[in-house]
């Protein structure tokens, strides 16, 4: 971890706070490095709103870049931010998971995390919701958990995952982590939160990265929706339209298809998905 310690001292990224100011971030990074190096099965557990989808997609792209053995699971209930025991027992366990990383959920899933431990599965919770009286006994990265002194409390799921990816990039010396702010911006704007502090920094820079994105999914969304002039208004409209299409009667399928949109390496496939999602708006 020496390289990471040196990078912490020199940390400066777009005026944002050091990600290691978040409680447990160092422990989260250490466990992820172990999983990557040992080729352990990692499962990202996310929610089916656009913020959760952007978070899952971002972490998938970063971990795949590191050649990690990674899959994902998207919850099938809107506004459900708990980890489900039946999903752990009937799905994730059979994937051979050794590590679960949640994206925007799990801060109140105390008994479910105990179940994971009993099954030999480690869990890193990344969330942005306020914690309950009792915290799960695991690694937690959440600016709103007790005893976390991180100065900006209004991060969304995508924002917290981006902070995790910043920490990962500092250890592995990934030079272009900022390019993922295109996905982060879509996630933040979909939540209609106050665009101040780090949210403002991420959105402002995210507009630039959307304009020059190399993500085929984002490119396809701009093309299919005839967006040639990227600005806050039309990207807000785009994220609102995507939320409407995701929340259609097939929303769980649409959520998974949207993850595929953001991680595909085929422009043709990205355009097919973007056209499909546009037609799903009700």
Residues in CB range of 176: below 8 A, 6 or more apart: none
CATH value at residue 82: 3.90.1640.30
- The number of domains in the chain is 1
Q: Which residue has the higher pLDDT, 174 or 7?
A: 174
- What pLDDT shows up at residue 223? 96
- What pLDDT shows up at residue 8? 46
pLDDT tens for residues 48-100? 899 999 999 999 999 999 999 999 999 877 667 889 999 999 999 999 999 99
Model confidence at 2, in pLDDT bands (50, 70, 90)?
very low
Lowest-confidence range among 68-72, 110-114, 208-212, 253-257? 253-257
* CA distances (Å), origin 282, targets 75, 110, 248, 262: 22, 37, 7, 22
Burial of 32 (0-12, 13-18, 19+ CB in 10 A): buried
| Cα distance between residue 70 and residue 43, in whole Å | 6
Residue 249 pLDDT > 80, yes or no? no
pTM: 0.94
Residue % of the chain over a pLDDT of 90: 78
For range 238-261, the mean pLDDT: 85
DSSP code per residue over 21-46: GSTTHHHHHHHHHHHHHTT-EEEEEE
| Cα distance between residue 126 and residue 209, in whole Å | 24
The angle at the Cα of 86, spanning 97 to 144, to the nearest 5 degrees, equals: 75
Lowest-confidence range among 6-20, 59-73, 133-147? 6-20
Model confidence at 162, in pLDDT bands (50, 70, 90)?
very high
Domain that includes residue 143, residue range: 2-279
Beta bridge partners of 141: 126
């Amino acid at each position: 971890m020496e390289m990471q310690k040196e990078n912490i001292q020199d940390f400066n990224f777009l005026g944002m706070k050091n990600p290691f100011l978040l409680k447990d971030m160092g422990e989260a990074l250490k466990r992820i490095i172990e999983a990557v190096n040992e080729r352990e099965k990692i499962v990202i557990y996310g929610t089916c709103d656009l913020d959760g989808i952007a978070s899952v997609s971002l972490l998938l792209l970063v971990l795949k870049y590191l050649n990690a053995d990674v899959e994902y699971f998207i919850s099938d209930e809107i506004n459900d931010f708990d980890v489900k025991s039946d999903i752990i027992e009937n799905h994730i366990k059979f994937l051979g998971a050794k590590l679960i990383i949640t994206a925007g959920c799990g801060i109140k899933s105390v008994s479910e995390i105990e179940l994971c431990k009993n099954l030999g599965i480690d869990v890193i919770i990344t969330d942005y919701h306020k914690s309950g009286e009792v915290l799960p006994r695991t690694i937690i990265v959440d600016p709103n958990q007790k005893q976390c002194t991180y100065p900006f409390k209004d991060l969304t799921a995508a924002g917290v995952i981006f902070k995790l990816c910043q920490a990962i990039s500092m250890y592995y010396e990934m030079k272009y982590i900022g390019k993922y702010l295109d996905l982060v911006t879509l996630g933040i704007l979909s939540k209609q939160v106050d665009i101040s502090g780090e949210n403002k920094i991420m959105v402002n820079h995210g507009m630039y990265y959307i304009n020059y994105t190399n993500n085929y999914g984002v490119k396809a969304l701009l093309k299919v929706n005839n967006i040639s002039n990227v600005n806050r208004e039309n990207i807000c409209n785009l994220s609102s339209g995507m939320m409407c299409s995701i929340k259609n009667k097939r929303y769980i399928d649409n959520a998974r298809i949207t993850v595929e949109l953001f991680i595909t390496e085929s422009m043709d496939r990205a355009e097919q998905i973007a056209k499909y999602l546009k037609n799903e708006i009700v």
